[in-house]
Structure 1
Amino acid sequence: MFSKTCTYAIRAMLFIARHGEIDNKLGIKEIAGGIDAPEHFIAKILQQLSKKGLVLSLKGPSGGFYLDKKTGKCTLADIVQAVDGDSLFTGCALGLSHCSEQYPCPLHHEFKKIRKEIHEALKSTRLSEFNEELLQQFTYLKNR
């Protein structure tokens, strides 16, 4: 459903939301290790998310990535759109470039409902909502 880049972006942002605050900035190694992802890939993804204002970063010896009150309110839909654009929410299920209400693909009407449900779910879900589940280890960000 999500691209590999988007999957890593969501996992990294969830990890930062759980562990990274203004007084506890996280480095690339810590984030990559915490979600079992390649460091160079996470660095590129977080740089992209930082440029779009979804995560904050500070350079230097006490630097790293973190969230504040504003960025902590980021939704999963914000991350998906920043990384993959809106194709998940608007694209054709069969990948046709001209699928529309007027010229629908065979899956158009059914997939339209699914896209809307996914968009609503991701729009209404904030990063911070997962902190308690992660803390209690009811959910995980890497393979066990």
Structure 2
Amino acid sequence: MLFTRASEYALLSLIYIAKQKSPIDVDTLANELNIPRSFLAKILQNLAKDGLLKSFKGIKGGFILSKEAKDINVKEIIISAEKKEPLVFECASTCGCPNNKDEDCKIFPMITKLQDKINNFLEDISLEQIINEN
């Protein structure tokens, strides 16, 4: 699994938004972070739709966190930005197992353990921790 620019921009945006006292608009955010406005707008809409941000319309509109930074984890940010679960491995089913999870698959147990560790790791890192480490 590679983090794409969508995940990177989502994380950078949420860090910036979390540090603000009032809603921040897309144009300001795009300029401050040097992110293409249209791409950023799509990411922020996804984050808002998934309940990580609140959006406000109008002159003083923009985005704020919908919950405390300590209650937002990296895994949910990635899922919202990418629109899919972060997977370490996508089975090519070359071993011939149906549904990619047959007991005959030699690597599935190891991959499952690795995926569980990565999921736990990403769930254990909060937005607040990232902010405090910078």
Per the alignment, residue 120 of structure 1 pairs with: 120
Q: CA deviation at 1:59?
A: 1.0
Amino acid at match of 1:10: L
Per the alignment, residue 96 of structure 1 pairs with: 92
Runs of 4+ in 1 over 6 A off after TM superposition: none
1:110 matched to 2:110? The reply is yes
Q: CA deviation at 1:101?
A: 4.8
Distance 2:13 2:91 in 1: 28
CA contact (8 A) 2:75 2:86 kept: no
Say if 1:95 and 1:20 are closer, same or farther in 2 by CA, change over 3 A. Answer: farther
Per the alignment, residue 66 of structure 1 pairs with: 64
Per the alignment, residue 52 of structure 1 pairs with: 50
Distance 1:47 1:86 in 2: 16
Q: CA deviation at 1:11?
A: 2.1
Amino acid at match of 2:117: E
Per the alignment, residue 76 of structure 1 pairs with: 74
Say if 1:39 and 1:109 are closer, same or farther in 2 by CA, change over 3 A. Answer: same
Q: How does the TM-score come out when normalised to structure 1?
A: 0.72
List alignment gaps of at least 5 residues for structure 2.
94-98
Percent sequence identity over aligned pairs: 25
1:6 matched to 2:7? The reply is yes
Structure 2 residue matching 1:87: 3-state secondary structure: coil
Say if 1:95 and 1:40 are closer, same or farther in 2 by CA, change over 3 A. Answer: farther
Distance 1:85 1:11 in 2: 17
Q: CA deviation at 1:86?
A: 4.7
Distance 2:100 2:33 in 1: 37
Q: How many residues align?
A: 127
Per the alignment, residue 26 of structure 1 pairs with: 24
Q: Name the stretch that deviates more: 119-128 or 109-118.
A: 109-118
List alignment gaps of at least 5 residues for structure 1.
135-144
